[in-house]
Amino acid sequence: MSKLQVLEVPHPVLRQKAEPVQAVTPAVKQLLADMLETMYATHGVGLAGNQVGELRRMVVVDCGGEQPDPIKLVNPEIIDRSDEMICHNEGCLSVPREYADVERHARVTVRYLDENGHPQTRTAEGLLAVAFQHEIDHLDGKLFIDYLSPLKRKLLLKHLEKRRKKEARLAEEAEV
Ligand code: NI
């Protein structure tokens, strides 16, 4: 297994639509394992293909907390959504250390292929439902910041840019 590089905004691949996986091959299975390892190493609860530069419809999620619950999804599709909504403070490995409240469906049912190519459906609520919606958005080139008002989004990205510059400056100083 190997840890992959996680792309960050404004990388253009994050804004592209991922293509369906034609067959769940050993290479796909390996990529899912690498994505899961990368997600754990970066302390995320979900990771989508786009985020590691793979424009294929693949997602890994683990919202299990103390009890691990890794879920690997190929070609995931939301087939049912509750009318009820929930608000959750979301973050994203591709928008590092910035958080904002986003409204999502409180419960969703997802249809997908597992890592052995078998069709599965899973109904989730709470954090797992949020993660499914957030990750499937990634496959369509959508980020959680797209749900914010233009002003809020602008401020968040400005804050991220400011922090990046500061970190780069500190790193430079440390090298001298
Ligand atoms: Ni994300």
Each of the 176 residues of the chain gets a pLDDT tens digit; together they read 789 999 999 999 999 999 999 999 999 999 999 999 999 999 999 999 999 999 999 999 999 988 999 999 999 999 999 999 999 999 999 999 999 999 999 999 999 999 999 999 999 999 999 999 999 999 999 999 999 999 999 999 999 999 999 999 999 998 87
Q: Find the 166 Cα to ligand 1 centroid distance in Å.
A: 23
What per-residue confidence (pLDDT) applies to 66? 87
Annotated catalytic residue within 8, 135, 167, 172: 135
Number of domains forming the structure of the chain: 1
What per-residue confidence (pLDDT) applies to 65? 82
By the 10 Å C-beta count (0-12 exposed, 13-18 middle, 19+ buried), 104 is classed as buried
Instruction: Answer yes or no: is 174 within a domain.
Output: no
What per-residue confidence (pLDDT) applies to 137? 98
Q: Find the 160 Cα to ligand 1 centroid distance in Å.
A: 15
- Please state, in angstroms and rounded to a whole number, the distance separating the CA atoms of residues 10 and 141: 12
Instruction: Answer yes or no: is 47 within a domain.
Output: yes
The reported pTM is 0.95
Instruction: Answer yes or no: is 164 within a domain.
Output: no
Instruction: Answer yes or no: is 133 within a domain.
Output: yes
Beta carbons of 47 and 6 less than 8 angstroms apart? yes
Instruction: Answer yes or no: is 139 within a domain.
Output: yes
Q: What is the CA radius of gyration of the chain?
A: 17
- Please state, in angstroms and rounded to a whole number, the distance separating the CA atoms of residues 85 and 94: 24
Beta carbons of 22 and 56 less than 8 angstroms apart? no
Q: Find the 4 Cα to ligand 1 centroid distance in Å.
A: 15
Q: Please, which residues bridge with residue 112 across strands?
A: 120
Q: Which residues contact 139 (CB under 8 A, 6 or more apart)?
A: 17, 18, 48, 49, 50, 57, 59, 76
Amino acid (1-letter code) at residue 107: R
Instruction: Answer yes or no: is 76 within a domain.
Output: yes
Place of tokens 């989004």: 153
For residue 45, give the nearest of 131, 108, 130 by alpha carbon. Answer: 131
What per-residue confidence (pLDDT) applies to 174? 87
Instruction: Answer yes or no: is 158 within a domain.
Output: no
What per-residue confidence (pLDDT) applies to 15? 98
Instruction: Answer yes or no: is 4 within a domain.
Output: no
CATH of the domain at 75: 3.90.45.10
Q: Tell me, rounded to whole angstroms, the distance of Cα 59 from its chain centroid.
A: 7
What per-residue confidence (pLDDT) applies to 138? 98
Residue 54 bears catalytic tag: no
Domain that holds residue 94: 12-148
- Please state, in angstroms and rounded to a whole number, the distance separating the CA atoms of residues 89 and 87: 7
